[in-house]
Chain A
Amino acid sequence: MRRAALILLALAAGAIAWAGWSEPLGGALFRLDPALLNTAQAGIQRHLSPWIWDDVALPVLEQPAWLVPAILGFGLLVLRLLRR
């Protein structure tokens, strides 16, 4: 868990360096692979549920690219501390 948390925090730092503070996660992913998000959207909407894309995935993708791994990384660290 600690290793995963550190990787996520490193990812967050890398995202700031590469994409800046304000670029949304969706924008960064689109730059990495333009087809990725459309393929993911089609898969989620066809095989899971259309609302998951609009109400879950999109709000996450609109957040700054660094924020999502940072929250997940700190969350894992906190979880680890609580377990101790």
Chain B
Amino acid sequence: MLIRNPRGWELPEREATPEALVLGRRTVLKAAAGIAAAGSLAWPEAAGAADLPAVMRNPRYRPERDITAEREATTYNNYYEFGSQKTISQAAQRLPLRPWTLRVDGMVDQPRDFALEDLLRQVQLEERLYRLRCVEAWSMVVPWTGFMLSDLLKLVGPQGSAKYVRFETAAIQGVMPGLRQSWYPWPYIEGCTIEEAANELSFMVVGAYGKPLPPQNGGPIRFHQPWKYGFKAGKSLVRMTLTDQRPKTFWEQIQPAEYGFWANVNPEVPHPRWSQASERVLGSRERVPTRLFNGYGEFVANLYTGLQRERLWT
């Protein structure tokens, strides 16, 4: 008897969209393409709720949980530059989202400074429903709008010698009150291997809930790898550097025993001060079991073969 476990992205036949609906949608998409060609769907110059073009949701990534209410996800935030509490959403509104430039440099053929609007004209935007697991044992599901990190890397041409991507986030004195803790090693630095960056799940996020990404969630542009703890996802990115040296991350400089370079989600490896076996679902009183790689093992487990000597889970 053949026992087959379906993968997360596989759909049963009954969930396939009927042909008539598909054909009708193509008509709509053709019309939309015509409008886009005329320039009216181009990325606008100013930030605002109506600024994000409508994009298709990618059905390959199914969170198997309800989407977290927008209000919950946008008012319960970790963003140390704006404060050490979860209630930083108001303070974060001071972050100027435009103009915004993302520098991509280091071991690339074409280092570039991307104005955000220019960058978004060169990539394929889509919506993905991802689970986000915070190292503090809470989680949420957010419809992110963005594009694959690998698409961005193609634009600059990574050199063969590049082994890591170093992410640097904004640190603006006078805007970010958390920087008063001047002893911390600002700016916030994160990093991943070039193989992790090339993985299909690695996502550059510019929107959430169909709107431009608000500053408290890392706007105007952040990074997200859903199989890792949330602190790995740098917010309000200003620079990405491809390098052959493993970046020393912000948290590795402060608490290396608790927040390491890899930080892959694993329910069997507790944080030194609490269990990671389960997580509180944001917006509810429900606790659910945490899954290895946050449930994305089928996409990423192969990245870590041969790395058993590394501290993959902290």
Contact = CB atoms under 8 A, between A and B. Distances in A.
A5 to B, nearest CB: 27
Contacts of B85: 45, 50, 54
A30 B84 CA distance: 17
B159 interface: no
Contacts of A4: none
Interface in B151-197: 180-184
A60 B182 CA distance: 13
Interface stretch (B32-40, B137-145, B253-261): B253-261
A78 interface: no
B309 interface: no
B83 interface: yes
B16 to A, nearest CB: 48
Interface in A32-61: 34-35, 37-39, 41-42, 45, 50, 53-54, 58, 61
Contact of A37 (B83, B183, B273): B183
B223 to A, nearest CB: 22
A24 B184 CA distance: 12
B206 to A, nearest CB: 30
B182 A27 contact: yes
A22 B85 CA distance: 27
B253 A62 contact: no
B183 A30 contact: yes
A73 interface: no
Contact of B84 (A26, A27, A35, A41): A41
Contacts of B258: 35
A7 interface: no
Interface residues of B, number: 14
A35 B257 contact: yes
B183 A53 contact: no
Given A45-B85, A54-B83, A34 B180 contact: no
A29 B253 CA distance: 14
A58 B181 contact: yes
Given A38-B254, A38-B255, A50-B85, A26 B182 contact: yes
A24 B183 contact: yes
Contacts of A42: 273
Contacts of A61: 181, 183
Contacts of B257: 35
Contacts of B254: 34-35, 38
A39 B193 CA distance: 28
B255 A35 contact: yes
A67 B181 CA distance: 17
Contacts of A26: 181-183
Interface in B223-271: 253-255, 257-258
B255 A58 contact: no
B255 A24 contact: no
B183 A29 contact: yes
A62 B254 CA distance: 18
25 contacts: A24-B183, A26-B181, A26-B182, A26-B183, A27-B182, A31-B183, A34-B253, A34-B254, A35-B254, A35-B255, A35-B257, A37-B181, A37-B183, A38-B255, A42-B273, A45-B84, A45-B85, A53-B84, A54-B84, A54-B85, A58-B180, A58-B181, A61-B181, A61-B183, A62-B180
Given A34-B254, A37-B181, A62-B180, 9 more contacts: A26-B181, A27-B182, A27-B183, A35-B254, A35-B257, A45-B84, A45-B85, A50-B84, A54-B83
Q: Which 7 A-B pairs have the closest CB atoms?
A: A30-B183, A27-B183, A26-B183, A50-B85, A35-B255, A34-B254, A38-B254
